[in-house]
Amino acid sequence: MGKTIRQASFPRTPTGASLARHLMADTLRGWMSEQERLDLVLAIGEAVSNAVHHGGGEQFAVRCWSEDGKILVDVTDEGAGFSRRPIRLPVDGGEGGYGLSIIHKLTDEVHLLDGGRRIRLVKRLSKIRTIPNRAG
> How many domains, in total, are found in the chain?
1
Does some domain include residue 135? no
Whether the CB-CB separation of 12 and 51 falls below 8 Å is answered with: yes
Residue 65's domain spans which residues? 3-124
* 3-class SS of residue 12: coil
CATH at 76: 3.30.565.10
Does some domain include residue 92? yes
Q: Which of 13-17, 75-79, 122-126 has the highest mean pLDDT?
A: 13-17
Does some domain include residue 132? no
Does some domain include residue 102? yes
Q: pTM for this one?
A: 0.83
Does some domain include residue 129? no
3-state SS track over 30-45: CCCCHHHHHHHHHHHH
Whether the CB-CB separation of 37 and 27 falls below 8 Å is answered with: no
pLDDT digits (tens, 9 = 90+) for 31-61: 888 999 999 999 999 999 999 998 989 999 9
Does some domain include residue 131? no
